[in-house]
């Protein structure tokens, strides 16, 4: 679901250095992002669904871990005027695309609320501090980590491999960083593969409680291949499974709910109202 485009997106050829890119409009043209056209990962529906899972009451600083070109973080800012963004991306080419996107005329409102940091999310301790990610320094975290493991063959394109292949140790290092930088009572929201739910639950243990898990179905009646999980730092509340969200009708068109989300007109129905 990453690369498909909704009718709220439009792509134009764009040039950044030697990388072939497009300039893609999101949320019915509310903001635009420069993305690689042939290399690396192009964000789409997953990033917009992740942003739509953040509460409309959210305020303060939001960290987008593994931000890529910045789509999820920028979408969250567009939906939440009381948020500031800390986009954390280790690849300098992708981080530079995010910086270039903020210079576009249509992104003025995002520019003054965004900061891009080049940093490896899996680093710990002193390295995090040097990067400016101090303990209890953000109010919210969103994550769209690599899905694939070393069981699968990595893409030949090294930029795409970084985006799709999880490093050894799995997502525990991502959760470690998220827990370290999020204030008690702050939220963590992640989109991930359903088959890795057990790993997600284990990594949340003792870090983020009150997990709300929403299955994401491509079509009604199909097995959910993605889940979005949302938890609260230091909460002891139990896990809950929410009704699933359906992206497509049987004819391939977006459901009305999905279409509204991709246009930036609606959000996913999570029960929590963390601010």
Q: What pLDDT is attached to residue 149?
A: 57
Burial class (CB in 10 A: 0-12, 13-18, 19+), 91: buried
In a domain, 93, yes or no: yes
Query: Which tokens in the block code for residue 188?
Result: 């963590």
The pair phi, psi for residue 262, each rounded to 5°, is -70, -25
Worst-scoring range by mean pLDDT, 6-10, 130-134, 187-191, 265-269?
6-10
Q: Is residue 78 part of a domain?
A: yes
* pLDDT of 156 higher than 90: no
Which among 175, 177, 171, 179 is positioned nearest to 235, based on CA atoms? 179
pLDDT value, residue 42: 84
pLDDT band at 11 (very low <50, low <70, confident <90, very high): very low
- Residue of 6 and 128 predicted with greater confidence: 128
pLDDT of residue 140: 98
The pLDDT of residue 273 is above 80:
no
Write the CA distances from 222 to 1, 31, 228, integer angstroms: 14, 32, 16
Residue 4 has pLDDT above 70, yes or no: no
Q: Are 122 and 89 in contact (CB under 8 A)?
A: no
| Residue 10 predicted with pLDDT over 80 | no
pLDDT-derived band at 8 (thresholds 50, 70, 90) equals very low
The structural domain count of the chain equals 1
At residue 253, φ and ψ (nearest 5 deg) are -75, 160
Provide the pLDDT confidence category of residue 237 given band limits of 50, 70 and 90.
Answer: very high
In this predicted structure, what is the pLDDT of residue 148?
Answer: 56
Task: Give the pTM.
Answer: 0.88
Within a domain: 73: yes
Is 2 within the bounds of a domain? no
The answer on pLDDT for 136 being more than 70 is yes
Q: Taking residues 140-168, what's their average pLDDT?
A: 65
Neighbour count for residue 169 (Cβ, 10 Å): 10
Query: Do 136 and 91 contact (CB within 8 A), yes or no?
Result: no
Q: List the domain range (segments joined by +) for residue 255.
A: 44-262
* CATH code of the domain containing 237: 3.40.50.150
Does residue 26 sit within a domain?
no
Residue 29 included in any domain: no
Higher-scoring residue by pLDDT: 1, 198: 198
84 part of a folded domain: yes
- C-beta separation of 189 from 141 below 8 A: yes
pLDDT tens digits for 48-79? 999 999 999 999 999 999 999 999 999 999 99
CA–chain centroid gap for 154, Å, is: 21
Closest CA to 187 of 228, 243, 224: 228
Beta bridge partners of 209: 232
| pLDDT > 90? residue 256 | yes
Specify if 94 maps to a domain.
yes
């Amino acid at each position: 679901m990453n690369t498909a485009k909704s009718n709220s997106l439009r792509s134009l050829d764009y040039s950044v250095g030697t990388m072939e890119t497009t300039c893609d409009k999101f949320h019915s043209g509310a903001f635009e992002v420069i993305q690689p056209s042939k290399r690396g990962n192009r964000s789409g529906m997953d990033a917009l669904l992740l942003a739509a899972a953040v509460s409309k009451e959210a305020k303060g600083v939001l960290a987008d871990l593994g931000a890529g070109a910045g789509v999820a973080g920028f979408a969250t800012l567009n939906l939440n005027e009381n948020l500031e963004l800390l986009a954390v991306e280790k690849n300098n080419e992708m981080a530079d695309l995010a910086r270039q996107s903020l210079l576009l005329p249509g992104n003025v409102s995002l520019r003054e609320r965004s900061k891009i940091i080049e940093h490896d999310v899996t680093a710990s301790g002193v390295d995090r501090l040097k990067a400016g990610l101090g303990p209890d320094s953000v109010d919210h975290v969103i994550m769209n980590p690599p899905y694939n493991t070393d069981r699968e063959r990595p893409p030949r394109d090294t930029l795409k491999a970084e985006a799709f292949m999880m490093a050894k140790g799995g997502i525990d290092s991502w959760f470690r960083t998220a827990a370290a930088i999020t204030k008690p009572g702050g939220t963590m929201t992640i989109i991930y593969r359903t088959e890795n739910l057990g790993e997600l639950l284990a990594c949340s243990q003792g870090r983020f409680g009150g997990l709300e898990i929403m299955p994401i179905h491509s079509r009604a009646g199909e097995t959910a291949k993605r889940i979005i999980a949302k938890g609260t730092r230091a909460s002891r509340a139990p896990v809950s499974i929410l009704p699933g969200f359906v992206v497509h009708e049987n004819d391939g068109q977006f459901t009305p709910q999905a279409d509204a989300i991709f246009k930036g007109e609606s959000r996913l129905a999570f029960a929590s109202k963390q601010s």
